[in-house]
Structure 1
C-alpha cells in the first residue's frame, strides 16, 4: 500500500466512542498527517465559513467524515450550508456521510448531493478507511 497523501482530514460527529476509534485507526495506520474533530455541524460550518473569509487553504481538510444525527446542527443542515460555500475553496474536498442509519431514504438523499462522495454505514472498518485515504480522492 502506498503512503497516504492526505495532509488534513476532518471528523464531524458527536459519538465520542466512534470518534476515538476512528482517530486511533487513523493515527495507528498513519493515514493522514493531521485530524480535526468537531462535535456538531454548527462548530464545523462556522469554522469553514471563517476559512472562506480568510482563504486559508492549508487549513481546509481534504477529506470530511460527516455524521447525520448530531445535536445543535445535524449533518443535513451542515450539508445545506457547506454545499453553498464548497466551490469557493481552491481545493478538492471529498465528503463522506458516515451514519448508523441504514434507511434507504437517508442513503439516497445523501448520495444525490453533488458534495457527497459516498455514504458509509457505521461502524466503518479499517480497510474502508485505508482505501479512502490511500486512493486519489477526485
Structure 2
C-alpha cells in the first residue's frame, strides 16, 4: 500500500504548508499532496474533479481561518456536493484556533472526522494515515 494516499491541504499559512508538505512526503503511504491556499481554490478543484475518483483526495486537512472562502464556508459547499462524489473523503479540521466556539461548530459538522490544533504531531499524522 505504498504511495497510494492522496492528501489535500487547504491552508493559507505558507509556513504550515511547507511544514506539512515535507512531513507528509516522509510518509511512504502518501502518494500525492494537493495544496490550496483557500477554500474557493479547493472547491473549484472538487467541482472540476467530482466524478474523477482517482483525482480526488482520500483525506483533507482543512484550516478554518482563510481569506476568500474560510473552512466553514468550504464545508457548506462540500456538503452540497457530497452525494455526487465517487468516493469517501475523510476531512480533518487543522487549525490554530483554540476557541471553544470553533470546537463546537466543527463537532456539529458530521462530515468532519476531528478537530486538531496545529501543529499536528507526527504520531497523530501517522495514526490518521494508518486508519485510512
Distance in 2 between the 1:94 and 1:123 partners?
19
Distance in 1 between the 2:2 and 2:106 partners?
26
* SS of match in other structure, 1:61: coil
Which of residues 97, 109, 117 in structure 2 aligns to 1:101?
Answer: 97
Structure 2, gaps ≥5 residues long? none
Structure 1, gaps ≥5 residues long? none
Structure 2 vs 1, CA of residues 25 and 108 (structure 1 numbering), >3 Å: closer, same or farther? Answer: same
The residue that corresponds to 1:83 in the other structure is 79
Contact 1:31–1:130 (CA under 8 A) maintained in structure 2 = no
* SS of match in other structure, 1:96: strand
Moved over 2 A (4+): 3-7
Structure 2 vs 1, CA of residues 29 and 76 (structure 1 numbering), >3 Å: closer, same or farther? Answer: same
The TM-score with structure 2 as length reference comes to 0.94
CA RMSD of aligned residues (A): 1.4
Distance in 2 between the 1:45 and 1:59 partners?
14
Kindly state the Cα deviation for residue 30 of structure 1 after the two structures are TM-superposed: 2.4
The TM-score with structure 1 as length reference comes to 0.90
Contact 2:11–2:36 (CA under 8 A) maintained in structure 1 = yes
Is 1:63–2:59 an aligned residue pair? yes
